[in-house]
Amino acid sequence: METQTLTFLFVGLSFAIYIAIAIWAKAGSTGEFYVAGGGVKPIYNGMATAADWMSAASFISMAGLIAFLGYDASVYLMGWTGGYVLLAMLLAPYLRKYGKFTVPEFIGERYYSDTARIVAVICLIFISFTYIAGQMRGVGIVFSRFLEVDIITGLMIGMAIVFVYAVLGGMKGITYTQVAQYCVLIFAYTVPAVFISLQITGNPLPQIGFGSTLASDPSVYMLDKLDQVITDLGFSAYTDGTQSTTNLFFLTMALMAGTAGLPHVIVRFFTVPKVSDARKSAGYALLFIALLYTVAPAVGSMARFNLVNTINGDEVTGTEYSEMPSWFKTWENSGLLAWYDHNQDGKIQYAKGNPLDGKKPTFAEERGAQGERIVTNPGKGEVAEGAPFANEVYVDRDIMVLANPEIAGLPGWVIALIAAGGIAAALSTAAGLLLVISAAISHDLMKKTFAPQISEKQELMYGRIAITVAILIAGYLGANPPGWVAETVAMAFGLAASSLFPVILLGIFSKRVNRKGAIAGMLTGLIFTFCYIVYFKGVFIEPFAANIEENWLFGITPQAIGGLGMIFNFVVALTVSHLTEEPPKEVQEMVASLRIPRGAEQAHAH
């Protein structure tokens, strides 16, 4: 059976399963719509949380970052997994004990203020739509390549599928759909990795193969060979870091705190029956996430290894375009891979010095003399005079995981499987994000703030309308994303770290922080971080200007600035709170009771 037919079969079957689950688990009440009725078992919630968490950024883009950044990308692994420890220890059990539907609801009642609730909703919307832009880009990339449709058509198909099971099933439907999606995505991610690890190192475990010797030359380690090949091409050694310590520190902080402050992840811990189940869910989630995250470094390094060897050949002199396998031309047609034959020798050559200056190129319809796609916006770079060749290849980082099985020449069913996994990863997180947006609007703004008289049926209707509108906005953002998938998602984490995480943490562990401090802190962190990202992502300046890094504050990138925004939030919230009145006594008592285990109050009274 042809690869294309297998792809349609695998993806179509997975869609049928998701929709069937949504119909089976249709939400009939607001409790089922928002928190699945609070009756999800910890192991299922752990799988759903892992699927919710392992978005297109984890499945599609993270290994792509590792493939191109090498050691520098390890911060994403540390930050995104370390944040779960913060969440499990510092937030999840206390928020579950509080027993509400949403994060803004907790903030509104803890800080005894509708204004605080509204500010929290605004923060949540900024975070969720930034995050969902990355997911929808992932959906578009997968569809545009494997279903051979354009990105807009792919987005519309993805939006339609999410609409069915998110609007119909609510959190109950999404939870059990995400259990199925986890099974699909983890199988799709690990099976190709096992094949490729066997192919390159002879070891079936990618985690071990990553540090093993080559099957073709047992005296040479795979990473040593990769370092040698890419340094010969002018790149930095794969295993060396180039980022400043300051930026690594703030990026790790932003990713960890952002993980703990993500509303769509936090809400998963409201779906279990007991406080102890919230801790168990976090433990299961970490285990299920580790299955993918420990494989990602191997996938990234082996993808770069295969890519360089395929393009440049064993002699690192370039490969004739006519001899390139079909995957190269297929991805070239998608616009996510490009070749520009500068020296007109008919060979594809990959080396340091990107003539496209990192920009995604645009193409004319015709092809050049050697068969290459014509790059109509080649950027400012020029071929160095006297150089044997400059870089002639543009590779979008987000294609590496998806293209990896094709580059390695794996069977068609493996390629089809990874297509289904990529779509599952993007759709699972998109659904969770859409639901928290819906809950924030229908529950926190309508029911709790502006229209408390509405019935449960009306609230459910407003929730479904909100999801519908949010899907349309998400589709637009997916067609016009601010960066690569992982880049965009890292910015969402920065917004979560700088806006919601500090006030949730202080709301649990500090009786002194009041509503004025919380509101001032959230606004300070959100505005600072958002403006920094908008400025340096090219709204006011040329995004790829030569001196852009000189303008970064303390050398901190837009992806890492949330760490500094978080510090500003903490400082402002604590300072304003200590300069103004204390919270009411009943609020302070509520905060104290949050940290007392159930049953301890009665034992203490006796």
3-state secondary structure string across 251-311 = HHHHHHHHHHHCHHHHHHHHCCCCHHHHHHHHHHHHHHHHHHHCCHHHHHHHHHHHHHHHH
Q: Which residues pair with 394 in a beta bridge?
A: 338
Q: For residue 431, what are the CA distances in angstroms to 132, 168, 232?
A: 9, 12, 44
pLDDT band per the 50, 70, 90 thresholds, residue 541: very low
pLDDT at 369 over 80: no
pLDDT at 379 over 50: no
pLDDT at 387 over 50: no
**Higher confidence at residue 355 or residue 513?**
513
What percent of the chain lies above the pLDDT cut of 90? 14
pLDDT at 370 over 60: no
What pLDDT is recorded for position 27? 58
DSSP 96-132: HHHT-S-HHHHHHHHTT-HHHHHHHHHHHHHHHHHHH
**Higher confidence at residue 393 or residue 166?**
393
pLDDT band per the 50, 70, 90 thresholds, residue 168: low
**Higher confidence at residue 59 or residue 198?**
198
Average the pLDDT over 227-233 and give the result: 81
- DSSP at 221: B
**Higher confidence at residue 220 or residue 359?**
220
pLDDT at 563 over 90: yes
pLDDT at 377 over 60: no
Per-residue tokens: 596: 């007392």
pLDDT at 439 over 80: no
CATH domain 3-302+409-485 topology = Sodium/glucose cotransporter (1.20.1730)
What pLDDT is recorded for position 201? 92
> For 28, left (φ over 0), alpha (ψ -120 to 50), or beta?
alpha
pTM for this model (two decimals): 0.77
What pLDDT is recorded for position 600? 47
**Higher confidence at residue 503 or residue 356?**
503
pLDDT band per the 50, 70, 90 thresholds, residue 198: very high
DSSP 429-480: HHHHHHHHHHHIIIIIIIIIII-TT--HHHHHHHHHHHHHHHHHHHHHHHHS
What pLDDT is recorded for position 483? 55
Average the pLDDT over 316-324 and give the result: 73
Average the pLDDT over 595-602 and give the result: 56
What percent of the chain lies above the pLDDT cut of 70? 80
Contact 471, 162 (CB under 8 A): yes
pLDDT at 566 over 90: yes
Q: Which residues pair with 393 in a beta bridge?
A: 339
What gap in Å lies between CA 485 and CA 477, rounded to an integer? 12
pLDDT band per the 50, 70, 90 thresholds, residue 237: confident
3-state SS track over 308-342: HHHHHCCCCCCEEHHHCCHHHHHHHHHCCEEECCC
What residue spans in the chain does CATH classification 1.20.1730.10 cover? Answer: 3-302+409-485
What pLDDT is recorded for position 383? 43
pLDDT at 531 over 80: yes
pLDDT at 50 over 80: yes
- DSSP at 207: H
Which range in 20-34, 97-111, 495-509 is most confidently predicted, on average pLDDT? 495-509
Average the pLDDT over 164-189 and give the result: 75
Contact 428, 47 (CB under 8 A): no
Per-residue tokens: 247: 């930026």
pLDDT band per the 50, 70, 90 thresholds, residue 60: confident
Average the pLDDT over 337-366 and give the result: 64
Per-residue tokens: 128: 């969720």
What pLDDT is recorded for position 501? 93
What pLDDT is recorded for position 388? 43
Mean pLDDT of the chain: 78
pLDDT at 280 over 90: no
What pLDDT is recorded for position 482? 57
pLDDT at 588 over 70: yes
What pLDDT is recorded for position 357? 47
Per-residue tokens: 366: 């015709």
Which range in 101-115, 387-401, 448-462, 478-492 is most confidently predicted, on average pLDDT? 101-115
What pLDDT is recorded for position 373? 55
